[in-house]
A and B are shown apart, each in its own frame.
Chain A
Amino acid sequence: MYPAELEKYLMHVQKPGRYTGGELNSVIKPHDSVDIRYAFCFPDTYEIGMSHLGMKILYSLVNERDDALCERVFAPDVDMEAIMREHNIPLYALESGKPIGDFDIIGFTMQYELSYTNVLNMLDLAGLPVKSADREALTPIVIAGGTCVCNPEPMADFFDITLPGDGEEVTNELIDLLKEYKKKGAAKKEFLAAAAQIPGVYVPSLYEVSYNGDGTVKEVTPTCSAPAKVIKRNVADLDKMFAPTSFVVPFLESVFDRTTVEIFRGCIRGCRFCQAGFLNRPLREKSPEAVEAQCRAICDSSGYDEISLCSLSTSDYKGLEKLLTNMLPWADENKINIALPSLRADNFPKELMERLNSVRRSGLTFAPEAGTQRMRDVINKNITEEEILSTAAQAFSGGWTAVKLYFMIGLPTETEEDLKGIADLAQAVVDKYYSCENKPKGKSVSVNISLASLVPKPFTPFQWEPQDKPDVLIEKQNYLISCVKTRKVNVSRHVPWTSFLEGVFARGDRRLGRVIETAWKKGCHFDSWEEHLDREKWTQSFKECGIDPYFYTARVRDLDEVLPWDHMDYGVTKKFLQKEYIKAHKGETTPCCREKCSNCGAARLNGGVCNELGKTVV
Chain B
Amino acid sequence: MNSVRLWYKKSGLVIYTSHLDMNRCFTRAVRRADIPLWYTEGFNPHPYMTFLLPLPLGQTGLREPLDIRVEEDISPGEIKNRLNSVLPSGLEIVDAAEAVNKANSIVSARYKTDLLFESEGEAEGFSAGINDIMSSGVLNAEKRSKRGTKKVNLCDYVDSFSAVCEGKTVKTDAVLATGTQNNLNAGLLFETLCSEFAAEPEKTSIVRTDIYMENMIPFC
Q: Which residues of A contact B (CB under 8 A)?
A: 1, 7-8, 10-11, 15-17, 19-24, 249, 251-253, 257, 299-305, 334-335, 360
Contact = CB atoms under 8 A, between A and B. Distances in A.
B24 A21 contact: no
B20 interface: yes
B13 to A, nearest CB: 3
Contacts of A22: 12-14, 88-90
A360 B45 CA distance: 9
Contact of B57 (A7, A11, A257): A11
B89 A305 contact: no
Interface of B: 12-14, 16-18, 20-22, 24-25, 27-32, 39, 44-45, 57-58, 86, 88-90, 187, 201-204
Describe A's contact surface by its main secondary structure.
Answer: loop
B16 A303 contact: no
A302 B44 contact: no
Contacts of B39: 335
A7 B32 CA distance: 31
B16 A17 contact: yes
Contacts of A301: 32
Most buried by A among B20, B32, B89: B32
B202 A16 contact: no
Given A7-B203, A8-B203, A303 B17 contact: no
A1 B28 contact: no
B41 to A, nearest CB: 12
A304 B57 CA distance: 23
B92 to A, nearest CB: 14
> Which 7 interchain pairs have the tightest Cβ spacing?
A303-B28, A22-B13, A24-B88, A303-B32, A303-B31, A251-B17, A16-B16
A618 to B, nearest CB: 48
A253 B20 contact: yes
Contacts of A8: 201-203
Nearest to A10: B16
Given A22-B12, A22-B88, A23-B88, A17 B28 contact: no
B28 A304 contact: yes
Contacts of B31: 299, 303-305, 334
A351 B12 CA distance: 49
15 contacts: A1-B13, A10-B16, A11-B58, A15-B18, A17-B17, A20-B16, A249-B88, A251-B14, A251-B21, A303-B29, A303-B30, A303-B32, A304-B28, A335-B39, A360-B44
Given A8-B202, A11-B58, A302-B32, A20 B13 contact: yes
Contacts of A24: 25, 28, 88
A7 B12 CA distance: 12
A482 B39 CA distance: 48
Contact of A16 (B22, B27, B58): B58
Contacts of B21: 17, 251-253
A463 to B, nearest CB: 43
A541 B24 CA distance: 44
Given A8-B203, A252-B21, A253-B20, A16 B57 contact: yes
A16 B16 CA distance: 6
A421 to B, nearest CB: 37
A347 to B, nearest CB: 29
A413 B12 CA distance: 60
A17 B57 CA distance: 9
B27 A303 contact: yes
B190 to A, nearest CB: 11
A8 B90 CA distance: 19
A257 B24 CA distance: 10
B111 to A, nearest CB: 16
Given A249-B28, A303-B32, 11 more contacts: A8-B201, A11-B204, A17-B16, A17-B18, A20-B13, A22-B13, A251-B14, A251-B17, A257-B24, A303-B27, A303-B29
A251 B10 CA distance: 13
A22 B13 CA distance: 6
B150 to A, nearest CB: 23
A15 B57 CA distance: 9
Contacts of A257: 24
Contacts of B25: 24, 251
A335 B45 contact: yes
B86 to A, nearest CB: 8
A407 to B, nearest CB: 31
B2 to A, nearest CB: 19
Given A8-B203, A360-B44, A300 B12 contact: no
B24 to A, nearest CB: 7
A21 B13 CA distance: 7
Nearest to A304: B28
Contacts of B17: 17, 251-252
B135 to A, nearest CB: 27
Contacts of A253: 20-21, 24
A300 B32 CA distance: 6
Nearest to B39: A335
Contacts of A303: 27-32, 86
Nearest to B37: A335
A24 B39 CA distance: 24
A305 B49 CA distance: 16
A252 B22 CA distance: 9
A299 B34 CA distance: 11
